[in-house]
Structure 1
Amino acid sequence: MERLAFDVLIAAHILAGTTGAVAFWVPVIGRKGGETHRKAGRIFTVAMLITGALAVGMSVFTLVAPLETHPHLVGMFEAPFIRGIFGWMMLHMGILTINLAWYGWLAVRNGRRREKGREWRNLALQPLVIVAALNCALQGWLIDMPLMMGISLVGVATGLTNLWFLYKPRPGPMDWLKEHVKALVGAGISVYTAFMAFGSVRIFPELALNPVMWAIPLSTGIGLILWHWRKIDAQSRARAAASPRHARA
């Protein structure tokens, strides 16, 4: 029964993750602000929330019964190792995905009305992802897995930078858009990381823990974030230069 329920979670997780992975590219490379952008963004956000929730569910099953839920890994890895990678680390990644998707959605929905982002779910997700990340690092240390300690930095940085934006004294006029880009591209990084790393364990188990499998989506995502931030800054400068007040000066 446990195995059947776990397989159902996997199938739903793959379906939701694939939907998000495809929808991700429409707002990233397409025309910004249009109806297509908004529709794809909504599909992506919902898909990521579902994907993250299912990942949390899968991680709980793994923590309770690591060998029963991963019979294909029996003989290759011990139970504590499976519990660490596919339990604690997946729990961290699932919470991180939910955090980024919800935070990024609120950022664009609220715009400059930053105080509306301080609703209870958004505020609760920030310390939650930090705690999950620190636990991931601890569990990685206990099983001597540096990858878990490294990936935990993403969760800690996410929670802290999100809180900084929500409460910093004087946010810039376009900071909300930068946060939107950071969060939703970050959620995209998480789903592609899951496909390349966790997904590869069923075909090439030895590749699942290869740092390259984690570095490719991470470096691509960071590049996309920085590129979009640069465009936002350039557009802000252009608007400021064209404003009547600037022209009179």
Structure 2
Amino acid sequence: MPWLFHIILAIHVGAGVVALTSFWGAVLTRKGGPAHRRWGFVFSAAIYTAASQALGMGALSLVWPLAMHPQLTDAVLYRGMFGTMMVYLGLLAISMTRYGLTMVTNRRNHPGNRHWSMLAVQGVTMLAAGICLAHGLYLLNRNGPVMEPILMVMVALLGFGTTITYFRYMLAVPASPRAYIPEHFKAMVATGIAGYTAFLSVGLIEMFPSHAFNPAIWAIPSIGGMAIIIHYLRQYRPAAKAQLAE
């Protein structure tokens, strides 16, 4: 089955390159304008493609971890890293992208955000985060405080925080008619952060295996993404305050 893994990996990498490139097109163009929407469409389609391939690679790695990754030796450890965690991260990317797009689609219909399919996507992602957390804690107990299971625990906790935040907004009454705007760009930028983090981790495994799970390296996309989010939140807040004052 390694041949199937390599086919899926090639599609995943190709879609990932498109996503990482189009991300900046969406970030740098005027929000809500035609160019922004076009770049956003390309970015979302690429993320959905890459994430779906991640689910396939994760499933293969769960069943045959060493056959899919012959350079590795610990089947139990890497079944968790490249199986459980990859499936979970694929679901997380899909859920973040779906949430971000739905915020815009339902900008005048907040109850539509509570459609059963939206709630189901977030619920399945939260369940996957719980499985990833449990698997990470098991590996911590088995292998000791090595970086791989620590990383599994960290990203699982991130998924819990993300889905709880999404559930909270979907089930609450929006603070203003424009509340969907920060929800949209926070979710889409977070998806971009996930894409760049995955890119760095896979590249480091190939080029610098000893640094593949270095948390300092994994933190780089998060720091950059948070800077983008804070920048746009500052731009949004004056408009929101002005609207409330009218």
Q: Which residue of 2 aligns with 1:32?
A: 31
Q: Which residue of 1 aligns with 2:170?
A: 166
Q: Could you tell me whether the CA contact under 8 Å between 1:174 and 1:232 is conserved in 2?
A: no
1:65/1:136 CA distance change after superposition, 3 Å: same
Deviation at residue 105 of structure 1 after TM alignment: 0.7
CA displacement, residues 195-231 of structure 1 (integer Å, 9 cap, x when unaligned): 0113321121111110012111112112211221221
1:65 corresponds to 2:64: yes
CA displacement, residues 106-148 of structure 1 (integer Å, 9 cap, x when unaligned): 1112213111122232111111111111111111111112111
Partner Cα distance (2:174, 2:181) in 1: 15
Deviation at residue 48 of structure 1 after TM alignment: 0.8
TM-score normalised to structure 1 length: 0.91
Partner Cα distance (1:24, 1:119) in 2: 27
- CA RMSD after TM alignment: 1.3
Please show how residues 95-244 of structure 1 align to structure 2 within 5 Å.
95-144=91-140, 145-241=149-245
Q: Could you tell me whether the CA contact under 8 Å between 1:114 and 1:166 is conserved in 2?
A: yes
Q: What stretches of structure 1 of length at least 5 have no aligned partner?
A: none
- Using the TM superposition, name which of 163-172 and 176-185 deviates more: 163-172
Q: What stretches of structure 2 of length at least 5 have no aligned partner?
A: 141-148
Q: Which residue of 2 aligns with 1:7?
A: 6
TM-score normalised to structure 2 length: 0.92
Larger Rg: 1
Residue identity in the other structure for 1:39: R
State, as a whole percentage, how many aligned pairs show the same letter.
Answer: 35
Q: Which residue of 1 aligns with 2:44?
A: 45
For the residue of structure 2 that corresponds to 1:143, the secondary structure is: helix
| Count of residues in correspondence between the two structures | 238
* Segments of 4+ moved more than 6 angstroms: none
